[in-house]
Chains A and B, each alone.
Chain A
Amino acid sequence: MSASMRKDRTHLFALAWLGSLIVALLVLPPLRSLDPLALDSTARFSGPSGEYWLGTDDLGRDLLARALDGAKISLLVGLGSTAIAALIGVPMGMIAGYRGKAADAVVSFIVDVVLGFPGLVLALGLAAFLGPSVTNVMIAIAVPLIPAFARLARAQTMSLLTREFVEASKVIGTPTLSIMRRDIVPNISEAVLAFALVNVGRAILIEGGLSFLGIGVPLPQPTWGTMINEGRVYLTQSPAIILVPSVFMMLTILSINMLADRYLLDRTTVTGGS
């Protein structure tokens, strides 16, 4: 039992970080009137102080305010693109798994085509063609994530088709849409959710990469990726400019991955494996 207790602690840490991050980004800016864009020429490269808890960057902008504002974008894009990918990929996979034959072939082919591009390159290309905006970045990141959802939903649906309650529904002539809605969706939603959680972490990683390359969410909106990119020049004077967003980013993705890991573990122990 010591193993599960150990897992408990890490997952509490993850919840604590994500919880305080969300509370901080909701409460701190209005409470302390934090402005991620406000310049303070008297306090450039300053260390942590009562006014600037985590110090300031090269233009005297509050690092905490910027990191929290960046968190908003990362969480928004992470959740948003995962939701888009799931909403497109899961129905695709369900139809492929349920109908089989031609529908399956078409979906598998679409999946193969999307997987023909490395994820980051596809996101980069899409972001370039769609033009810079938060929504477009979400779409650009969502597309490479679709295949995994489609495959998961397809496999899960196929495994359900042989179960008695689905066969019974079919035999008594329940319309396909009702079977999907009442029998399939509730039974695959848990696996999809667990998988979605892993993908939120991946999406945040890709968003960071795009922002870092200057192809993500447009300026002046601060994001973790752009903060790290801009801070590169001042690595000698003030590593904190990079350190702050890096730590925020790492802890957030780490926490999400920990929760996903924990959730998957629980699922396999409850359902008895696989």
Chain B
Amino acid sequence: MTGGAGVPAVALRRVLLKLLRLVAVLLVVGTLVFLGMELLPGGPAEAMLGVSATPESVAALNHQLGLDQPLLERYASWVGGLLQGDLGQSFRTGQDVSAIVATRLPVTLELVIAGQIVALGLALPLAMVSAARRGTVVDRGISMMVFSVLSTPHFVIGVVLIWLLSVNLGWLPATGYTPLSDGIWPYLSGMIMPAVALAAAPFAQYQRVLRADLIETNSQSFMLVARAKGISPMRSAFRHGLRPSLLGLSTVIGITIGTSIGSSVVVESLFGLPGLGAQLVNAVQARDYPEVQGIVLVVAASFVVINAIVDALYTVIDPRLRQRRPTRQEAVTR
């Protein structure tokens, strides 16, 4: 956890240990996802067939799913399949889960990226205004608004947006997704509201972290010099204060991208976006466990890898962080 003296051998050892840990975490996550199906009451076949289950249909389905094989054998073939990119087949459609993921993952990624753009686009100016006008009515108003946003669920913000922009004003379609290839405006009109709904919580976190960091930067001597030269508070915040204050923000961005993947589940379902999250909800509601298993595994794996990359990036960006950096929970609850 603590940083070494910077000896290359030590650094290399640490990187290797981290990689090993990453692989181990992925392995355990995968095994847990696999075992989840085993632990279903009455077994997956009965759970999937529901009330219409008869001993014959259960046996048939068990055979179809390969569940009549011994556990270890199935585990081995499941892992073997994973290594070849085989996530199993959907129970409802028989489609390859990996194919489902491949068509739906891009939509989720687009949404998450759009959400980040909106969140940063709103948080940067509002944090700078807040910091420059610290303690004034403006700052307090913004802080109160940000705090309220932090306490409002994504789906409430989404429903309010639909009510306002679709039902009342008729500006944007309430649901639906148009691919970018069909034109930039149809694409954007379907993406704006989901992006804003997804951006809400990250925006609030960014604003709070950046405001605090900007205020801290403001207390440093080079900012005093800037102001002594007669530069206006807004201008000095932009020209001199922003860059040194971005590090805390970059920490939170990494965390938020991860949690946004989780929040996209709700947002996609609400706005009818054909992303991975909406598909997961469909699969859960239809008790299509092979599909649930595959999607959860992909989401968890990408989550783990994203977090590891972000973690590694910090230490590259700022050597000081090798000594101490905020843990995830600190940054989340800040």
Physical interaction between A and B: yes
13 contacts between A and B (CB under 8 A): A113-B29, A119-B259, A120-B262, A121-B265, A121-B299, A125-B296, A195-B333, A209-B154, A209-B266, A214-B285, A215-B284, A229-B155, A253-B153
Interfacial chain B residues near A131, Cβ < 8 Å: 41
A213 contacts which of B160, B258, B266, B307 (Cβ < 8 Å)? Answer: B266
Interface residues of A in 101-147 (CB under 8 A from B): 109, 112-113, 115-121, 124-125, 127-129, 131, 147
Residues of B within 8 A of A (CB): 21, 24-26, 28-29, 32-33, 36-37, 39-41, 135, 140, 147-148, 150-156, 159-160, 162-163, 167, 258-259, 261-263, 265-266, 269-270, 280-281, 284-285, 287, 292, 296, 299-300, 303-304, 307, 327-329, 332-333
Is A254 a contact partner of B299 (Cβ separation < 8 A)? no
Q: In whole angstroms, how far apart are the Cα atoms of A137 and B106 in the complex?
A: 30
Of A25-33, A56-64, A235-243, the segment with at least 4 beta carbons within 8 Å of chain B is A235-243
Is B41 a contact partner of A117 (Cβ separation < 8 A)? no
| Best-surrounded residue of A6, A125, A151, A235 (most CB of chain B within 10 A) | A125
A92 interface residue per 8 A CB criterion:
no
Interfacial chain A residues near B150, Cβ < 8 Å: 257
Q: In whole angstroms, how far apart are the Cα atoms of A229 and B147 in the complex?
A: 24
Interfacial chain B residues near A121, Cβ < 8 Å: 261-262, 265, 280, 296, 299-300
Given contacts A109-B25, A118-B259, A119-B259, contact A228 B147 (CB under 8 A): no
Q: In whole angstroms, how far apart are the Cα atoms of A121 and B26 in the complex?
A: 16
CB distance from B306 to the nearest CB of A (A): 10
B262 contacts which of A109, A118, A253 (Cβ < 8 Å)? Answer: A118
Q: Which residue of B lies closest to A231 (CB)?
A: B159
Q: In whole angstroms, how far apart are the Cα atoms of A256 and B135 in the complex?
A: 23
Interfacial chain B residues near A261, Cβ < 8 Å: 147
Interfacial chain B residues near A170, Cβ < 8 Å: none
Given contacts A120-B263, A246-B160, contact A209 B32 (CB under 8 A): no
Is A254 a contact partner of B281 (Cβ separation < 8 A)? no
Is A236 a contact partner of B167 (Cβ separation < 8 A)? yes
Interfacial chain B residues near A235, Cβ < 8 Å: 159, 162-163, 167
Is A116 a contact partner of B285 (Cβ separation < 8 A)? no
A249 interface residue per 8 A CB criterion:
yes
| Best-surrounded residue of B33, B140, B156, B292 (most CB of chain A within 10 A) | B156
A215 contacts which of B262, B281, B296, B307 (Cβ < 8 Å)? Answer: B281
CB distance from B295 to the nearest CB of A (A): 9
Given contacts A129-B40, A250-B152, A257-B151, contact A117 B29 (CB under 8 A): yes
The binding surface of chain A is classed by DSSP as helix
Q: Which residue of B lies closest to A123 (CB)?
A: B262
Which 3 residue pairs spanning A and B have beta carbons closest together? A118-B262, A254-B151, A120-B262
Residues of A within 8 A of B (CB): 3, 6, 109, 112-113, 115-121, 124-125, 127-129, 131, 147-148, 151-152, 195, 198, 201, 205, 208-209, 212-215, 225, 228-229, 232, 235-236, 239, 242, 246, 249-250, 253-254, 256-258, 261
Given contacts A117-B29, A215-B284, contact A250 B156 (CB under 8 A): yes
Is B262 a contact partner of A119 (Cβ separation < 8 A)? yes
Is A209 a contact partner of B153 (Cβ separation < 8 A)? yes
Is A116 a contact partner of B153 (Cβ separation < 8 A)? no
Q: Which residue of B lies closest to A209 (CB)?
A: B266
A208 contacts which of B140, B155, B162 (Cβ < 8 Å)? Answer: B155
Interfacial chain A residues near B299, Cβ < 8 Å: 117-118, 121
CB distance from A251 to the nearest CB of B (A): 8
Is A117 a contact partner of B151 (Cβ separation < 8 A)? no
Is B36 a contact partner of A129 (Cβ separation < 8 A)? yes
CB distance from B261 to the nearest CB of A (A): 5
Q: Which residue of A lies closest to B162 (CB)?
A: A235
CB distance from A195 to the nearest CB of B (A): 7
Given contacts A250-B151, A250-B152, contact A239 B163 (CB under 8 A): yes
Interfacial chain A residues near B261, Cβ < 8 Å: 118, 121
Interfacial chain A residues near B156, Cβ < 8 Å: 228, 246, 249-250
Interfacial chain B residues near A124, Cβ < 8 Å: 265, 280-281, 284
B329 contacts which of A151, A205, A254 (Cβ < 8 Å)? Answer: A151
Q: Which residue of B lies closest to A104 (CB)?
A: B1
Further contacts, 19 of them, CB under 8 A, given A128-B287, A129-B36, A225-B155: A3-B135, A109-B24, A112-B21, A113-B32, A115-B328, A117-B299, A117-B303, A118-B262, A121-B299, A148-B333, A198-B333, A208-B153, A215-B285, A228-B155, A232-B162, A235-B162, A239-B167, A254-B148, A257-B150
CB distance from B33 to the nearest CB of A (A): 8
CB distance from A58 to the nearest CB of B (A): 15
CB distance from A252 to the nearest CB of B (A): 9
Is A116 a contact partner of B29 (Cβ separation < 8 A)? yes
Q: Which residue of B lies closest to A127 (CB)?
A: B284
Is B159 a contact partner of A242 (Cβ separation < 8 A)? yes
